[in-house]
Amino acid sequence: MSDFICVNSKDIIIVTNNIASSLDLQAIEKYIKNATCSESDQVQSLRLPQLKSYLKIIGVPYLLELTNTCIMLENIEKILKSNHIFNNIVLASKPKIIKVSLKSDMAIIWIDIWNAQSGSKAKSLINQRFNVGSFIATICGANMNPGVPQYKNCWKWGHSAGVCRIQGAKCVKCNSLHQTTHHREFV
């Protein structure tokens, strides 16, 4: 271990040359308990830094079956808590619900989870399937949450390819009907 920094009386940050093993964490925890003369229940368990992983759940109905109302955040949280594949998963933020398209009755649920540095939690969830009512939802890996989608053909926000009325592609630089890669040729 290379460095030991005390941030304040409650938080201690320890910087190491390598990723600490579980034995290293136990030794550090024992040292802190002895050095601070605190009881074992006062010292929180130590943990390694975590990273965020981004996942999306597809195949989820946008309208609930019995009530015919839109699926809400509370419904998603209840589904995640009741399913055993999410037992050891901690959400990094609230799930986001996006309707697939204006005419579709399906939704995509974006979830951010806290993951181990190896990415093992996300890897164990990807391609898992579970039931949402009579529908089968699938978990897929994703990039950071898109928020409001921007269609890369016409560069407009809030719609997808299925509802775009533009024929061909628009240039992002001049808004003409040609691809951005051909901007110099057409201008």
Q: What digits encode the pLDDT tens for the residues 70-116?
A: 889 999 999 999 999 998 888 888 898 888 887 888 999 999 888 87
Residue 180 gets which letter from DSSP?
G
128 and 176 belong to one structural domain: no
86 and 12 belong to one structural domain: no
End-of-domain residue from the set 17, 33, 49: 49
14 and 68 belong to one structural domain: no
121 and 65 belong to one structural domain: yes
29 and 85 belong to one structural domain: no
99 and 131 belong to one structural domain: yes
For the chain, give the longest Cα–Cα distance. 75
> Locate tokens 């691809």: which residue?
179
63 and 137 belong to one structural domain: yes
**Gap between the Cα atoms of 125 and 133, Å rounded:** 20
45 and 56 belong to one structural domain: no
181 and 130 belong to one structural domain: no
Domain count, the chain: 3
76 and 100 belong to one structural domain: yes
User: What single-letter amino acid sits at 4?
Assistant: F
Give pLDDT tens digits for 2-45: 334 343 345 666 666 676 677 877 787 777 777 766 555 555 55
Domain membership of residue 15 as a residue range = 1-49
- Percent of the chain predicted with pLDDT > 70: 70
- pTM for the full model? 0.56
61 and 125 belong to one structural domain: yes
65 and 128 belong to one structural domain: yes
User: What single-letter amino acid sits at 147?
Assistant: G
> How do the residues of the chain divide into helix, strand and coil, expressed in percent and rounded to 5?
25, 25, 50
